[in-house]
């Protein structure tokens, strides 16, 4: 179930304060352009959110898709127009796209597997560009991905894709993420096997636990109720789209915090978990961070802060599954394992290796592309290890869950759990928000214990892996 603390008494923060304190670029611009979106460091995009909702929304007839049927060509979602809809819930700004899912071989309206990990934005069409440097997510997406995918499947998985990129991938980025860690491989395999032993396959687990695909009206209803629980009604622009490759992504657009949700991945039992991940963790910690003296890069250096990750993504990933009856950490575990294997395998070898865990060849392709992004010749061993941060953060938080003050972890903003004791005397806590699902400390700790048990983790093992 979802803990509901009733009407919130948190002070309302003006939406424009969301990015206050972030370093601005010359000319007053914040963030970096990425396909028309401005992404902030503390708005980490979710790769493939495995979320849950404790109660089904009321069945409502979905809006007509006649316009889509008349024009089957995909159109980009509206990026600069988020009209307020005059309705009983007009306080929530809405934006909808009736575009098709960005996959040529996927039928319209077909649900996308939550095991899918395709948050690599579309490459721009060839042509002149005034951008001096590409957004990282764009730079890491091969421009010939569809061509190489077709070659790979036509060759019956015996062809190593030769990826091309619109612009050279920054060497500093590739250098930073070229090494994979094996520290938690054993735990990753244990989590994966726990799911397979219970359900036979992840596809079976998803079908059993995910619930039905929601209509737009049902999604709006769940979002509206969640925003009320967190006391942030009217602060976040919400976009519903069928042209998003990930399940959801939090971003800043037109100086407003914006949450884009993929209609094709919004399942009845997982949607609220996605909201806890994006709003309850990334957004609220971002709002709290704006009030802190370390809200800027200079401030972080002054206070000697550790990087926000892996704490940030580990905490958000835990919140995604927090209220599931079976809170398996499949996605984080398989990501970790896949990247480790990619570091010493070719693309074909990796694809074959994942056959034991992922039956859907389309989903398996996406895991492999994600692990091999940045490479040109995928016949060579190599990986992009950034996605190991999820399981890394999860296990570190679970290891120290009995000593972490989770209220302070939320209130102090984008900080590591290791910095809490150092920062608590300097923090501006009078305006801090605590997510509604974290307010009952005892219940919250019980749910974390349940995650440990469900995933066959042992405290003694975690203590040995991560000694004080």
Share of the chain above pLDDT 70, in %: 69
Tell me which of 47 and 343 has the higher pLDDT. 343
Could you read off the pLDDT of 355-367 as tens digits, one per residue?
Answer: 999 999 998 998 9
pLDDT level of residue 209 (50, 70, 90 thresholds): confident
Quick one: which H or E segment has residue 61? none
Bridge partners of 377?
A: 162
Identify the weakest region by mean pLDDT among 285-289, 362-366, 433-437. Answer: 362-366
pLDDT at 271 over 50: yes
Average pLDDT, the chain: 77
Calculate helix-pair angle for 185-199, 389-399, nearest 10 degrees: 90
At 277, the pLDDT band (50, 70, 90 cuts) reads very high
- Which among 242, 253, 278, 312 is annotated as catalytic? 278
pTM for this structure? Answer: 0.73
**Stronger pLDDT, 457 or 110, i.e. the higher one:** 457
Point out the least confidently predicted range of 98-112, 244-258, 338-352: 98-112
Return phi, psi of residue 94, to 5°. -120, 155
Model pLDDT, residue 247:
73
Compute how many other C-beta atoms are within 10 angstroms of the C-beta atom of residue 197: 9
Determine the average pLDDT of the residues in 268-288.
93
* Residue tagged 């389309």 (tokens): 362
Q: Are strands 248-253 and 256-262 parallel, antiparallel or unpaired?
A: antiparallel
Q: Which of 178-187, 211-220, 251-260, 357-366 has the highest mean pLDDT?
A: 178-187
How many residues in the chain?
Answer: 468
Per-range mean pLDDT, top range of 19-23, 140-144, 160-164:
160-164
Contact 191, 22 (CB under 8 A): no
- Mean pLDDT, to the nearest integer, of 231-260? 81
Interval 159-188 mean pLDDT: 92
User: pLDDT at residue 238 above 70?
Assistant: yes
Distance of CA 448 to the CA centre of its chain: 20
Task: Evaluate if residue 182 carries a pLDDT over 90.
Answer: yes
How far, in whole angstroms, is CA 65 from its chain's centroid? 28
CA angle 253/243/319 to nearest 5° reads: 70
Q: How confident is the model at residue 265 (pLDDT cuts 50, 70, 90)?
A: confident
Q: Which of 7-16, 277-286, 367-376, 394-403 has the lowest mean pLDDT?
A: 7-16
> 84-93, 233-242, 278-287: which has the minimum mean pLDDT?
84-93
Per the model's pLDDT, the better-predicted residue between 63 and 161 turns out to be: 161
Which residue did the predictor score with more confidence, 410 or 26? 410
CB 240 within 8 A of CB 286: no
* Least confident window among 45-49, 207-211, 257-261, 386-390: 45-49
The number of angstroms, rounded, from the C-alpha of 315 to the middle of its chain's C-alpha atoms is 11
Q: Which residue has the higher pLDDT, 210 or 338?
A: 338
Tell me which of 287 and 135 has the higher pLDDT: 287
Residue 422 neighbours by CB distance under 10 Å: 14
- Between CA 342 and CA 353 the distance in angstroms is 10
Q: Is the pLDDT of residue 328 over 80?
A: yes
Residue with tokens 């061993």: 381
Please state, in angstroms and rounded to a whole number, the distance separating the CA atoms of residues 189 and 336.
9
Rounded distance between C-alpha atoms, residue 244 and residue 386, angstroms: 21
Residue 241's pLDDT is what? 80
- Cα gap 246→385, rounded to integer Å: 18
Tokens of 194: 């726990």
Please tell me the predicted confidence (pLDDT) of residue 138. Answer: 60
Structure tokens at 76: 């980009």
* DSSP percent split of the chain into helix, strand, coil, nearest 5: 40, 10, 50
Task: Please identify which residue in the block is written with the tokens 């499949």.
Answer: 330
Cα(159)–Cα(169) distance, integer angstroms: 23
Q: What is the pLDDT at residue 212?
A: 86
Cα 83 off chain centre by = 25
User: Span 155-165, mean pLDDT?
Assistant: 95
Q: So what's the pLDDT on residue 150? A: 96
Q: Which residue has the higher pLDDT, 60 or 218?
A: 218
278 is catalytic: yes
For residue 185 the two structure tokens come to: 């491989």
Nearest-angstrom CA–CA distance, 75 and 40: 25
DSSP 8-class letter at 385:
G
Q: For residue 257, is the peptide bond before it cis, meaning its omega torsion is within 30 degrees of 0?
A: no
CB of 354 within 8 A of CB of 363? no
Most confident range (mean pLDDT) of 14-23, 79-88, 377-386 is: 377-386
Structure tokens at 413: 């903003």
Tokens 């990501």 correspond to what residue? 335
Averaged pLDDT for residues 8-29: 41
**Res. 132: pLDDT tops 50:** no
């Amino acid at each position: 179930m979802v803990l509901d603390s009733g009407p919130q008494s948190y002070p309302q923060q003006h939406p424009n304060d969301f990015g206050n304190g972030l370093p601005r670029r010359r000319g007053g611009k914040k963030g970096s352009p990425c396909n028309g979106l401005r992404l902030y460091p503390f708005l980490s995009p979710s790769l493939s959110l495995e979320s849950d909702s404790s109660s089904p929304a009321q069945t409502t007839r979905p809006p007509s898709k006649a316009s889509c049927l008349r024009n089957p060509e995909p159109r980009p979602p509206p990026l600069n127009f988020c009209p307020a809809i005059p309705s009983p819930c007009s306080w929530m700004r809405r934006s909808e796209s009736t575009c098709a899912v960005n996959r040529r071989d996927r039928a319209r309206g077909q649900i996308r597997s939550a095991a899918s990990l395709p948050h690599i934005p579309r490459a721009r069409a060839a042509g002149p560009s005034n951008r001096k440097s590409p957004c990282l997510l764009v730079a890491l997406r091969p421009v010939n991905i569809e061509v190489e995918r077709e070659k790979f499947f036509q060759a019956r998985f015996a062809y190593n894709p030769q990826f091309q990129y619109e612009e050279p991938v920054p060497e500093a980025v590739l250098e930073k993420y070229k090494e994979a860690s094996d520290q938690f491989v054993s735990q990753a395999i244990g989590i994966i096997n726990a799911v397979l032993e219970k359900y036979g396959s992840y596809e079976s687990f998803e079908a059993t636990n995910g619930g039905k695909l929601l209509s737009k009206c049902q999604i709006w209803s769940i979002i509206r109720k969640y925003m009320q629980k967190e006391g942030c009604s009217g602060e976040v622009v919400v976009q519903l789209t069928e042209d998003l490759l990930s399940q959801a992504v939090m971003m800043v657009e037109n100086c407003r915090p914006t949450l884009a949700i993929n209609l094709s991945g919004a399942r009845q039992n997982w949607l609220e978990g996605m909201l806890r991940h994006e709003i309850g963790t990334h957004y609220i910690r971002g709002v709290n961070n704006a009030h802190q003296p370390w809200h800027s890069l200079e401030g972080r250096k002054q206070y000697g802060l550790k990087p926000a990750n892996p704490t940030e993504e580990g905490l958000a990933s835990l919140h995604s599954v927090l209220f599931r009856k079976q809170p398996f950490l499949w996605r984080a575990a398989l990501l970790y394992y896949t990247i480790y294997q990619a570091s010493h395998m070719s693309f074909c070898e990796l694809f074959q290796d994942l056959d034991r865990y992922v039956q859907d060849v389309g989903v398996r392709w996406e895991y492999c592309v994600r692990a091999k992004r940045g490479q040109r010749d995928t016949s060579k061993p190599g990986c992009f290890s950034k996605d190991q941060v999820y399981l890394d953060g999860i296990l570190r938080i679970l290891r120290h869950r009995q000593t972490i003050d989770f209220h302070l972890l939320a209130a102090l903003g984008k900080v590591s759990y290791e910095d809490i004791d150092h920062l608590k005397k300097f923090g501006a806590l009078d305006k801090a928000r605590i997510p509604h699902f974290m307010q009952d400390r005892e219940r919250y700790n019980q749910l974390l214990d349940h995650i440990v048990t469900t995933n066959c983790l042992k405290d003694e093992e975690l203590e040995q892996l991560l000694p004080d």
